[in-house]
């Protein structure tokens, strides 16, 4: 027995004592292969999963390294079954490989023939392959490369894709070198992606994922298709590429609801790509409009199902996914792994913060108590209405008013889910509201006014969760959200993580109704940020009402 911070249990859970002096080192060491499940005050619960272990294996970690971490930090002897399970699970990755054959083209090759026999007898896999080209390999139809990888992952035999990529149509892309350079972690992310072939780069919000994309484009020097979440994001990508590379305006096209331009670098929205007319995706021709050498997926954790299906046909193209978190509430992380590629780089948020590239953040959960009338309405409501009722409590309006007064004159975002609640807050704060129906030109004008300081307060719905560059936002107040979405919580806090000119911390307030679903969902939403080392302080709303303090201090700890 040692005095380690970790308890490894036979049910594949890992319990981390966060008060231990080595807890931070342990959290960083297990992050490549363990998934956080619960994060209360003192003991955080992680779980070993096949996908986590396969991601680690694809990133270059072997079973010996994983086992060494468990043994080094474990307080008690690690159950022998866990050691065996880690080794055997990680050994499943790469027993099957997709490779190029000089005669037969794309083949699935096995280092374990019984495994090959097993998967070929699966009725879903049989239509994706052709004749045996040898005792240990079978021909694969090139268009089925992605779907085959999806199915093999679900069968527990993830294939290592070594079949390579077409170069695509060459197009010179060079980074500008005046006044800036790649940060060390950005350079490492690009190198890891390029040598891995395809995959995902995970960086905190505000850490420069777009710059990583631009550097990957320069490395490929080929025509590039960039898929983004919305038109505002498309135009931010365009501006950043014009600023960071030597591409001209004529070389960059926008393919959205408003424009249909196909250029050597084309930025398309997920929305237009998934538009259907009479059951047909009418814009799929964009995938074949150029001989793309690189496809970039911005906010890859949000990929809609139709884009997954499209991506299955793009396996011969290099693919780069960019995100702050790979969490998907629909559980389709496996599809990201098999169709985009494994994690090639993942930087803990606190590491980037310690280097000064993102602002430190103070996270505060402000709990309000529902008045008796609201409690009775909540108690007798139908299950599907309960969250809407507690999340929209009028008590939250008073808290937002107090916090806005406290931070008067500072750049403030108020973020929520429900339009009537946001409209009321906008009217109370005399602030504009940005929502889905806000026209793109108006949205851009408001965001620019916020950046320049002409506006100090914006009320925003989910359109501002992602891909919005607001470098001077200092505080965010969240009043409601998409139930228990961990990735939404991370994205929302990411709106305020750009480094502040005066060195102050950012402040993220989550206003939560106690003893309701709102409190339960808040705990779930905070799990990813807890994994990254952030801790929420819980204060009562009455403390907010009577608190003062200077602009840079936040609430007293």
- At residue 557, the pLDDT reads 45
Give CA–CA dist 527/487, Å, rounded: 9
Which of 326, 350, 325, 347 lies closest to 23, judged by CA?
Answer: 350
Could you give the dihedral angle defined by the CA atoms of residues 27, 32, 37 and 39, in that order, rounded to the nearest 10 degrees?
20
> For the chain, what is the total number of helices (H) and then of strands (E)?
23, 25
What residue spans of 10-112 are helical by DSSP H?
23-30, 50-58, 63-73, 80-92
User: What's the pLDDT at 179?
Assistant: 83
| Structure tokens that stand for 265 in this block | 């670098």
Eight-class DSSP state of 336: I
Q: What is the three-state SS of 479-514?
A: CCCCCCCHHHHHHHHHCCCCCCCCCCCEEEEEEEEC
pLDDT for 107 = 95
Asked whether 125 and 141 are in contact (CB, 8 A), the reply is: no
Long-range contacts, stretch 437-440, CB < 8 angstroms, 24+ apart: 438/463, 440/231, 440/232, 440/258
**36: which strand partners?**
46
Distance between CA atoms of residues 553 and 342, nearest Å? 40
Contacts (Cβ under 8 Å, ≥6 apart) of 322:
200, 201, 203, 209, 210, 212, 213, 296, 297, 298, 299, 300
CB 36 within 8 A of CB 325: no
pLDDT at 551: 43
Q: What are phi and psi of 183, to 5 degrees?
A: -70, 155
**Are 459 and 382 in contact, with CB atoms under 8 Å apart?**
no
- Give pLDDT, residue 31: 85
Which residue in the block uniquely carries the two structure tokens 């023939």?
Answer: 113
CA–CA separation, 219 and 121 (whole Å) = 41
| Rounded distance between C-alpha atoms, residue 194 and residue 196, angstroms | 5
Give the CA radius of gyration of the chain: 25
Q: Which residues contact 105 (CB under 8 A, 6 or more apart)?
A: 139, 142
Neighbours of 544 (CB within 10 A): 22
pLDDT the model gives residue 469: 64
Candidates 309, 305, 313; CA nearest to 332 is 305
Compute how many other C-beta atoms are within 10 angstroms of the C-beta atom of residue 39. 22
Distance CA 300, CA 292 (A): 18
Strand partners, 297: 227, 321
| Digitized pLDDT (tens) for each residue of the chain, 557 residues in all | 578 999 999 999 999 998 899 998 998 899 889 987 776 668 888 999 999 999 899 888 999 999 999 999 999 999 999 999 999 999 999 999 999 999 999 999 999 999 999 999 999 999 999 999 889 999 999 989 999 999 999 999 999 999 999 999 999 999 998 888 999 999 999 999 999 889 999 998 888 999 999 999 999 999 999 999 888 889 999 999 999 999 999 999 999 888 889 999 999 998 888 887 877 777 877 777 889 999 999 988 888 888 888 888 888 899 999 998 877 767 778 888 899 998 898 887 888 888 889 888 899 999 999 999 999 999 999 988 999 999 999 999 999 999 999 999 899 999 999 999 999 999 999 999 998 888 888 888 998 898 888 999 999 987 655 556 666 788 999 999 877 677 788 888 888 888 877 777 889 999 999 999 999 999 888 887 887 778 889 999 988 877 555 444 445 44
- Please count the other Cβ atoms lying within 10 Å of the Cβ belonging to residue 64: 10
Strands 318-323 and 361-368: unpaired
Alpha-carbon span 212 to 345, nearest angstrom: 11
What SS3 class is residue 99?
strand
Distance (Å, rounded) from C-alpha 50 to C-alpha 93? 10
Phi, psi (deg, nearest 5) at residue 8: -100, 120
Provide the whole-model pTM. 0.84
First to last CA, the chain: 36
Confirm if 231 and 239 have CB atoms less than 8 A apart: no
Q: Phi, psi at residue 403, to the nearest 5°?
A: -70, -40
Structure tokens given for 277: 């007319």
């Amino acid at each position: 027995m040692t005095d380690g911070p970790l308890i490894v249990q036979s049910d594949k859970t890992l319990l981390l004592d966060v008060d231990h002096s080595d807890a931070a080192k342990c959290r960083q060491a297990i992050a490549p292969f363990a998934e956080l499940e619960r994060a209360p005050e003192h003991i955080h619960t992680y779980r070993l999963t096949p996908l986590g272990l396969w991601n680690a294996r694809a990133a270059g970690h072997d079973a010996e390294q994983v086992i060494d971490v468990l043994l080094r930090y474990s307080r008690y002897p690690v159950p022998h079954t866990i050691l065996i399970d880690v080794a055997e699970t990680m050994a499943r990755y790469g027993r099957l490989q997709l490779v190029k054959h000089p005669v037969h083209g794309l083949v699935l090759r096995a280092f374990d023939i019984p495994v090959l026999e097993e998967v070929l007898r699966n009725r879903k896999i049989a239509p994706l392959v052709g004749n045996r080209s040898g005792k240990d390999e079978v021909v694969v139809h090139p268009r089925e490369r992605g779907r085959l990888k999806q199915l093999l992952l679900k069968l527990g035999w993830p294939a290592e894709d070594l079949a390579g990529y077409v170069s695509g149509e060459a197009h010179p892309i060079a980074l500008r070198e005046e006044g800036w350079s790649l940060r060390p972690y950005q350079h490492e992310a690009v190198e890891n992606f390029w040598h891995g072939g395809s995959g995902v780069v995970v960086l905190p919000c505000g850490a420069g994922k777009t710059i990583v994309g631009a550097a990957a484009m320069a490395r490929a020097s080929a025509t590039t298709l960039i898929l983004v979440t919305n038109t505002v994001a498309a135009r931010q990508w365009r501006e950043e590429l014009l600023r960071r590379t030597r591409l001209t305006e004529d070389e960059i096209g926008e393919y959205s609801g408003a424009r249909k331009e196909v250029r050597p670098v084309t930025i398309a929205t997920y929305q237009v790509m998934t538009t259907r007319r009479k059951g047909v995706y009418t814009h799929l021709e964009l995938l074949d409009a150029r001989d793309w050498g690189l496809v970039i997926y911005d906010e890859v954790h949000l990929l809609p199902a139709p884009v997954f299906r499209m991506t299955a046909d793009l396996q011969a193209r290099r693919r780069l996914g960019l995100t702050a978190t790979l969490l998907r509430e629909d559980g389709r992380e496996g599809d990201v792994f098999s169709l985009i590629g494994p994690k090639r780089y993942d930087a803990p948020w606190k590491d980037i913060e310690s280097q000064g590239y993102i602002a430190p953040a103070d996270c505060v959960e402000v709990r309000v108590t529902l008045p008796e009338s609201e409690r009775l309405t909540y108690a007798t409501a139908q299950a599907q209405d309960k969250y809407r009722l507690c999340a929209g409590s009028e008590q939250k309006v008073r808290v937002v008013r107090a916090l806005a007064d406290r931070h008067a004159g500072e750049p403030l975002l108020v973020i929520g889910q429900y339009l009537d609640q946001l409209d009321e807050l906008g009217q109370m704060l005399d602030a504009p509201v940005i929502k889905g129906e806000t026209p793109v030109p108006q949205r851009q004008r408001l965001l620019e006014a916020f950046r320049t300081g002409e506006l100090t307060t914006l009320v925003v719905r989910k359109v501002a969760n992602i891909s919005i560059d607001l470098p001077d936002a200092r505080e965010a107040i969240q009043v409601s959200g998409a139930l228990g979405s961990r990735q939404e919580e991370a994205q929302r806090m990411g709106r305020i993580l750009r480094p502040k000119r005066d060195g102050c911390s950012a402040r993220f307030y989550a206003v939560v109704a106690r003893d309701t679903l709102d409190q339960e969902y808040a705990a779930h939403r905070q799990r990813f940020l807890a994994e990254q080392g952030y801790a929420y302080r819980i204060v009562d709303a009455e403390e907010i009402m009577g608190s003062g303090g200077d602009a840079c201090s936040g609430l007293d700890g």
